[in-house]
Amino acid sequence: MKKIHYIVILSVVGLMASCSDFLNEQLKVTYTSSNFYTTADNASAAVTGIYNSLYGNLLWAFGDIASDDAVNGSGNDPFGILDINNFTANSANGLILSFWQSTYETIARANNAIYYIAPMNIDATLRDRLVGEAKFLRAYSYFNLVNVYGKVPLKLLPQLTSATINVPLSEVPAIYAQIEKDLKEAAAVLPPSYSSDGGRITKGAAYGMLAKADLYEKKYTECLTNIQALENLNQYKLLTNYANLFKAGAEDSSEVIFGLRFSNSISAVGNILNVDFSPSIEGGYFFDAPTQSYVNTFSDSTILKTVDPRLDASIGRDGKPWFNKRTFSASWSPATGYLVKKYNEDSIFTNPLDKSTYVPKSRSMVPYHYMRYADILLMKAEALNESGGAGAAIELNKVRARVGLAPTTAATQTDLRTAIMNERRKELGFEFHRYFDLMRYGQAVAEAALGSGFSYAKNRYFLIPQLELDTNTAVK
C-alpha cells in the first residue's frame, strides 16, 4: 500500500468528553445491516471501519518481546508481557486475549463488508475494489492469527447465527489456503495506486502479502512469481535515507507497501507506540527494550568505516542523540540500557503551558510500516537462495548498499541463508517480524536464538484465550 490514510473513529473517552449535552441528543438515524448497505458512501464507510480496527497494534508483544530482539523493559506489566517474554503465558494472559479479540474484530468487520457490499447495486469498479480491500484485511488478520496461535476458528461470514459464531478450529494449511484465496481475489480488483483517497490497499500490497504467505509456506516459486508481479507495477523503490522512513510523512514514501498512518488532530488517533516505547522522562512506559544480542548484530562497518546507520535509526543508545534535544541515557532503560527509537519523535506542542494548544505525545504521526520494499527484496533473496536460483546476493546487496555496506561475501547457499537472516534482523528490527521469522526458520534456529527457556515443540504457538474456550462451543 503506497500511501495509508484512515478516517479514525473517536474513542469512547473522546465521545464522553465532547460536550455535556451529548447524552441528551435525540437518536436521528437507526441503522441495521439491511438499511446501511444502500449507498456507495456507506459502503466506503464500512470498509474504512475495518481499517480503524487496526489501531490497537499489539503485534510488537509477539514479534519483538517473544523474540531475541527485545524484553519487557518496564516494571509496569499489567497485561503479562513478561510471561510472553518467558514463554510462561497461560490462556488467561491479557495480551493473548487482547490480540485475539482485536484481530477478530477486524475479521468481523471485514466479513460484514464482504457479505453485504458484494451484492450492492453501486458502481461495479468501486464495489469490487471495496470488497477487495476487505478481503486483504481479512487475509492479513488471519495471517497474524495463524502465526501467533496456529489453529484458529476460520470465520468467513457475519456473526448472525450460532453456526457462524461457534466455529471449530481449522488446520494451519486450510487457513493459509483461505489467506491465499482472499489475496488473489483482492489482487485481481485492486488498483496499483490512487489518484486521490490515497492510503487504501493497493494491488502491490496484495501481491506482497501473497509473496509473504508463500515464503512462510516454503512455496518459493510462487513467492518469486508474486514478487515479480509486484515489481512489474513500477510503484516501489528504496528510500535513499533509511532513518527518514521513521519520521512523520514517511507513509508517503515509495518504499512503503502496507502499514498504518496516524494523525495528531484531536478527533483522530495517534501512534500510541510513541508512548509505549519512550522513556519515563517523556511520560512513556519503555516497553520493548532492545537486547544486547540485537545490538551485536551490527558488526559490519560501512564502506566509510562508520557504524551501520540502521542501528542508531532503530534504537536509543547511551550517549547518542535522542529526541527533544536530549542525549540518550542507558539509565532510561533499566532492563537493557536501550530503547526503541523508530516510533518516537520530538514532543508536539506549540505552548506546553497552554492546554488548548498542547498536543500529547500519544498523538504521534510517525507511521508504522508492516511491509516495505526492502522486505520484498529480502524475501526475493531468500526465495532465490532456497530454490537454488541465481541472484540472491544481488537482491541482498541492494538492501546493504542503501546503508553503505559492502557487498556480501557469502557465496554458498548456507552462508547466504545466514547472511539473509542477519540482514532481515537489522533491516526490519522493531517492525515486529523477528519472532515469526525465527519460527519459520525452524526448530534449530529458533531454539539457538531463544535459549533454554524455549521449546519449539511446546512454545511454537501461544495458547488460545480461555475466554474463547469458554464461549465458543465448537472449540474443543
Which domain CATH number covers 78?
A: 1.25.40.390
Given pLDDT bands bounded at 50, 70 and 90, which one contains residue 35?
confident
Helix H or strand E segment including 210: helix 203-216
Per the domain annotation, does 159 fall within a domain?
Answer: yes
Greatest Cα pair distance, the chain, in angstroms, is 72
One-letter amino acid identity for 123?
Answer: D
Which 3 state secondary structure label does DSSP give 163?
helix
Helix H or strand E segment including 314: helix 309-314
Per the domain annotation, does 107 fall within a domain?
Answer: yes
With the CA atoms of 182, 185, 189 and 195 taken in that order, what torsion angle do they form, in degrees rounded to the nearest 10? Answer: 30
Task: Cell numbers for 249, please give them.
Answer: 510523512
Per the domain annotation, does 168 fall within a domain?
Answer: yes
Per the domain annotation, does 287 fall within a domain?
Answer: no
Per the domain annotation, does 412 fall within a domain?
Answer: no
DSSP 39-80: SHHHHHHHHHHHHHGGGS--HHHHHTTTSSSEE---S--TT-
What DSSP character marks residue 302? P
Q: What is the mean pLDDT of the chain?
A: 90
The number of domains in the chain is 1
DSSP 110-141: HHHHHHHHTT--S-HHHHHHHHHHHHHHHHHH
Q: Is 37 exposed, middle or buried (0-12, 13-18, 19+ CB in 10 A)?
A: buried
- Output the pTM of the full model: 0.92
Q: Which residues touch 242 (CB under 8 Å, ≥6 apart)? A: 309, 310, 313, 402, 403
Q: Which pLDDT value is given to residue 200? A: 87
Q: Which pLDDT value is given to residue 3? A: 37
pLDDT at 324 over 90: no
Cβ–Cβ under 8 Å, residues 447 and 456 = yes
Highest mean pLDDT out of 65-79, 260-274, 324-338 = 324-338
Q: Give the Cα separation of 280 and 276 in Å (integer).
A: 10
Q: Which residues touch 182 (CB under 8 Å, ≥6 apart)? A: 135, 136, 138, 139, 142
Cell 496456529, located at residue: 150
Mean pLDDT computed over 225-230: 98
Q: Give the Cα separation of 121 and 389 in Å (integer).
A: 48
Per the domain annotation, does 434 fall within a domain?
Answer: no
Q: Which residues touch 156 (CB under 8 Å, ≥6 apart)? A: 111, 138, 178
Per the domain annotation, does 330 fall within a domain?
Answer: no
pLDDT at 88 over 90: yes
Q: Give the Cα separation of 55 and 270 in Å (integer).
A: 9
Q: Which pLDDT value is given to residue 31? A: 67
Q: Which pLDDT value is given to residue 248? A: 87
Per the domain annotation, does 446 fall within a domain?
Answer: no
Q: Which pLDDT value is given to residue 21? A: 38
Q: Give the Cα separation of 213 and 418 in Å (integer).
A: 21
Give the Cβ contact number of residue 140 at 10 Å: 28
Helix H or strand E segment including 417: helix 413-427
Q: Give the Cα separation of 266 and 282 in Å (integer).
A: 20
By residue range, what is the domain housing residue 94? 31-189
